[in-house]
Structure 1
Amino acid sequence: MNYRHAFHAGNFADVLKHVVLSLCLAHLNKKPKPYRVIDTHAGIGVYDLAGNEATRSPEWKDGIARILEADRPAEVDLVLKPYLDIVRAMNDGKALTAYPGSPEIARRLTRKDDRIHLCELHEADAKTLDKRYALDSRIRVERRDGYAAMEGLVPPKEKRGLVIVDPPFEHRDEMAHMAEAIKDALPKWPTGTYIFWRPLKDLWAAERFDTGLAEWLFDEEYATPENVLRVDLWVRDLEAEGKLAGAGVVVVNPPFTLEADLVTVLPWLCDLLKQEAGAGWRVDGALAEEDFEEDGAEL
């Protein structure tokens, strides 16, 4: 698949990814020490929902638009607040025409001493990104392959922060690239938070990535089961033909509050955003207790 962000801005997959990112950044803000955000596939930062791409594929109408129009329970609204505050501020209370990508969410949630490093290989997108953030001294934009950049960018001097890996999945072996990237980066920065987005289209590949990553982390003692969180949302039967039905993230070193927040909000999101029968969600650790038992390992 080729997941160009401009065509899918604000859809259910973006909602899930950006809720997770916002919650991770809000947690980092609880301590005064500065931190760094590294985005390996940054896109253009902000998306025009009235533009050509979003008009041709208005997936945002079944994503962020539904959320803003819905009556949200108080406990759900509290979890979504960091994310929705940004969307509302960008549209200034008017009709929904702008949507934040990960760089814009990072820009708006980080503080004056925090730093952001954005990598984007696509030439036109990198130019757009660089122009957009040229006046913000906290942000560095680099036209570079994000996977290749990761090894040199970690650990950051701030020692705190996160990496978000959100590729367009233009290559059949994208999952392998993601796995190699974390294998190079995590030993150098074992305390960083890593967010890996992947579609739920090739289920075999997603499952292989999830379980393979978890097994490697535990075998190398870079993480324990509570340090790996898998979060998925699907809006119709995953076996159905057609458009992307599901997507999610694997988070390494998630904030300790993240799982509970997502368990609060995901049932409501799933019910609101479902498009057909067969919708669902999950929050787990990628490896179940029986997986450890089969391997003779102990939890």
Structure 2
Amino acid sequence: MFSYRHGFHAGNHADVLKHMVLIAVLKHLTAKPTAVTVVDTHAGAGLYRLDSDFAGTSGEAQDGIVKLWASPLAAEPPPLLADYLELVASFNPSGKKKIYPGSPFVTQALLRQDPRDKLWLFELHPTDSKALADHVAQIEDHRMVAVKREDGFEGLRALIPPPSRRGLVLIDPSYEIKNDYGRVAACIQESLKKFATGTYMVWYPVIPRPEAHELPRRLKTLANQAGKPWLHATLNIGQAPERAKTHTPGEQPMRQGLTASGVFLINPPHTLKAPLQEVLPQLVEVLGRGRGQGQVVESGG
């Protein structure tokens, strides 16, 4: 259960999508003076080195943030992408671009210096939980951030609704365990009954598994049943041509790694759909690497 380590995947195309959308949601929530509570149910280690053994072994950042940095699009990015690139750059003041912030530090960077704002971080992996606590302890004022080595699905129950009735719940488990898909849907269903006005953001991998394709359909149904607006976006960079070659009988094909992912939001910012429709085709053009590439933005409610 503890085999997944996000350090192998930090800065990949899925992180680009997830964190770009996360930044947009947080900027929307913090634009009003009302206090904001953010719950990150699967926080990871919080900060990652792109030159670490983990990142070097997988090379996934090369098809994500690294390729994006080197592209002409980075020179004149659309607003949604510009905010993302600016935030990641703020963690690399030397310009060497070695540090990649995970969702805990993306969120912390955008919360206000307001003692009423609160960030709750849940991480069960013993190594990542300790690293997360150590990273948070280095923040100058970390009183607004709480780190819990607990099951985020369970821990969320006690935190909603927050006193201000304004907040974000980010859910992005590893999905290594098949029942994670069901737990995500059950968590959303239960949480909407307690905190109907909250913004919910679910990240999921687009992989050849029935549960992965069923999850966004289940989330649409739950949102529609609750009478809440929703927004769904996917980014598919396609298969790498050099890995798509046929293999000889008895030989295992080379693994492609994750080629696509999606984010599903309930009660999203009403201003988010149009910028996503603008930027995702440009990201496909930059990050796309072969057949199957594409993107989807759809909404309802």
Q: Same fold (TM over 0.5)?
A: yes
The Cα of 1:204 is off from its aligned counterpart by 2.8
| Partner SS for 2:233 | strand
Identity %: 38
Give ranges in structure 2 of 5+ residues lacking alignment. 245-254
Residues 178 and 211 of structure 2 are in contact (CA less than 8 Å); yes or no, is this contact kept in structure 1?
Answer: no
Give ranges in structure 1 of 5+ residues lacking alignment. 288-298
| Deviation string, structure 1 residues 176-212 (Cα, Å, up to 9, x no partner) | 0101111111111111111101100035323311112
Residues 234 and 246 of structure 1 are in contact (CA less than 8 Å); yes or no, is this contact kept in structure 2?
Answer: yes
2:261 is matched with which residue? 247
1:23 is matched with which residue? 24
Displacement over 6 Å in runs of 4+: none
Residues 26 and 82 of structure 1 are in contact (CA less than 8 Å); yes or no, is this contact kept in structure 2?
Answer: no
2:85 is matched with which residue? 84
- Matched to 1:259, the amino acid is K
| Deviation string, structure 1 residues 145-200 (Cα, Å, up to 9, x no partner) | 00111111111123211010011112012110101111111111111111101100
Map 1:132-281 onto structure 2 (within 5 A): 132-134=135-137, 135=139, 136-202=142-208, 204-219=210-225, 222-224=226-228, 227-236=229-238, 242-281=256-295
The Cα of 1:76 is off from its aligned counterpart by 3.7
| Deviation string, structure 1 residues 231-263 (Cα, Å, up to 9, x no partner) | 10111159x763111111111110001111100
| Deviation string, structure 1 residues 51-71 (Cα, Å, up to 9, x no partner) | 110111121122111222222
- Matched to 1:29, the amino acid is T
- TM-score if structure 1 supplies the norm length? 0.89
| Deviation string, structure 1 residues 3-52 (Cα, Å, up to 9, x no partner) | 53110100000100000100000111211122011100000110011111
1:71 is matched with which residue? 72
1:104 is matched with which residue? 105
Residues 239 and 256 of structure 2 are in contact (CA less than 8 Å); yes or no, is this contact kept in structure 1?
Answer: no
Residues 3 and 169 of structure 1 are in contact (CA less than 8 Å); yes or no, is this contact kept in structure 2?
Answer: no
- Matched to 1:194, the amino acid is Y
Q: How many residues align?
A: 282
The Cα of 1:116 is off from its aligned counterpart by 0.4
Residues 239 and 289 of structure 2 are in contact (CA less than 8 Å); yes or no, is this contact kept in structure 1?
Answer: no
Residues 123 and 149 of structure 2 are in contact (CA less than 8 Å); yes or no, is this contact kept in structure 1?
Answer: yes
2:122 is matched with which residue? 119
The Cα of 1:82 is off from its aligned counterpart by 2.3
- TM-score if structure 2 supplies the norm length? 0.88
CA RMSD of aligned residues (A): 2.0
| Deviation string, structure 1 residues 216-240 (Cα, Å, up to 9, x no partner) | 3323xx234xx111110111159x7
Residues 23 and 83 of structure 2 are in contact (CA less than 8 Å); yes or no, is this contact kept in structure 1?
Answer: yes
Give the whole-Å Cα distance in 2 for the aligned partners of 1:203 and 1:272.
27
1:130 aligns with 2:133: yes
Residues 236 and 276 of structure 1 are in contact (CA less than 8 Å); yes or no, is this contact kept in structure 2?
Answer: yes
| Partner SS for 1:133 | helix
